[in-house]
Amino acid sequence: MNVNTRTWLLLVTTLPTAGATARMRLWRGIKALGCVALRDGAYLLPEGSKRAAALSKLAGQTNADGGQAWVVHLAARSADDDAAFHALFSRAEEYADFASRLAQARKALASQRTAELARTLKRLRKDLEAIQGIDFFPNESSLAAQTAWADFQEAVETILSPDEPHAEIRTIPRLARTNYQGRTWATRRHLWVDRVASAWLIQRFIDREAKFLWLDSPAHCPPEALGFDFNGAAFTHVGDKVTFEVLLESFDLEKDRGLSPIAALVHFLDVGGTVPPEATGLEAILSGTRDRLRDDDDLLREFSHVLDSLHRHYSKEAAT
């Protein structure tokens, strides 16, 4: 084997002639894994422990369905053969199709209602993540798609949250909690994830006597109040950190192991990134709570119980 070639995984299968269900199950499996068909019954993947395990599971299912399947480690005979295998996994066509759908969606933004915009954003994010999940060799196509997606996401979020803060570029100073007791804290009304989680964090871990003002506009923030999560606020986005994470760092709360997973959830639901397993559930709970409770004091009071429970769960998990 040429030293410049990699090792590949090959799934070789034969299926019973009448096995329509088995054939459909196999087809769905190889599509989900991102396999390339070399010919009928021969499916290629780049080597990797997780991919090998997934192919072995698919082979086992095929055998259980009455067919025959083997997973083989395959070495290309030359660098040219290896390059040819590599080229088979180009996702340029999928990214081009995604970019086209993104462009069409962008034209329709102005005519969509809030709920439709949120659904569009969620659907297209899922579509992009599906391509990225089987893009084993990211290149300029994936970078262009990610850039276009970031622009689209910013356009949608500008419509959905016109007062959403822009990240500041500065250091985050360490602050003493003793200097922030019994204060009035202010943020934009109609709380969403970063604001409600930040208010919970303030009330539970920073200033237990905190009073909150929910502002129609950041311009209405009283000079004596501590603003959070809007442009020019005392506590807002800094660099790649959302307000919740800035508060954690400002008040030296990162050592609390129950708070770090909550920070990851808040970060994803506010600005995207790595998807925590609980993100979809937490988003659904918050969305339903906000639909039921129009008053932000009621929303904070009820959703705080959810965050209390998450904090307890994550703290116990970290201790084991």
Over 90: is that where the pLDDT of 173 sits? yes
Q: pLDDT at position 162, please?
A: 66
With both helix axes pointing from N to C terminus, report the angle between 260-271 and 243-250 in degrees, rounded to the nearest 10. Answer: 150
Domain extent listing, the chain: 7-88, 92-160, 177-319
Residue 55 contacts residue 46 (beta carbons within 8 Å): no
Interval 147-164: pLDDT, tens: 888 888 878 877 776 677
Give me the phi and psi of 212, to 5 degrees please. Answer: -120, 140
- The structural architecture, per CATH, of the domain 7-88 is 2-Layer Sandwich (3.30)
Specify the pLDDT at position 147.
86
Q: Among all chains, which residue has been given the structure tokens 């622009």?
A: 151
Distance of CA 252 to CAs 63, 97, 125, 205, 297, Å? 55, 45, 33, 11, 27
Model confidence at 115: pLDDT above 80: no
For Cα atoms 142, 143, 144, give the angle at the middle one, nearest 5 degrees.
90
pLDDT in tens, 308-318: 999 999 998 87
State CA 36 to chain mean position distance: 27
If you average pLDDT over residues 259-263, what whole number do you get? Answer: 96
Q: Is the pLDDT of residue 279 over 70?
A: yes
CA distance 251 to 131: 39
On average, the pLDDT of the chain sits at 91
Tens of pLDDT, residues 197-233: 999 999 999 999 999 999 998 999 999 999 999 999 9
pLDDT at 20 (0 to 100): 83
| Cβ pair 125, 156 in contact under 8 A | no
Tokens of 231: 């442009």
Grade residue 166 by pLDDT with cuts at 50, 70 and 90.
confident
For 91, the token pair is 């996702």
Report which DSSP code applies to 177. Answer: G
- Structure confidence at residue 318 (pLDDT): 73
Concatenated DSSP letters of 28-52: HHHHHHT-EEEETTEEEEE--HHHH
pLDDT at position 16 is: 79
Q: What is the pLDDT of residue 1?
A: 44
Q: What is the pTM of this model?
A: 0.57
Residues 73, 76, 81, 87, CA torsion sign: positive
For the stretch 7-47, pLDDT in tens is: 999 999 998 777 688 889 999 999 999 999 999 999 999 99
Helix or strand run (H / E) with residue 120? helix 114-133
DSSP code per residue over 283-317: HHHHHHHHHH--SHHHHHHHHHHHHHHHHHHHHHH
pLDDT at 181 over 60: yes
Point out which residues pair with 37 in neighbouring strands.
43
Q: Give per-residue burial for 68-105: e unless 16+ CB within 10 Å, then b.
A: ebebeebebeeeeebeebbeebebeebbeebbeebeeb
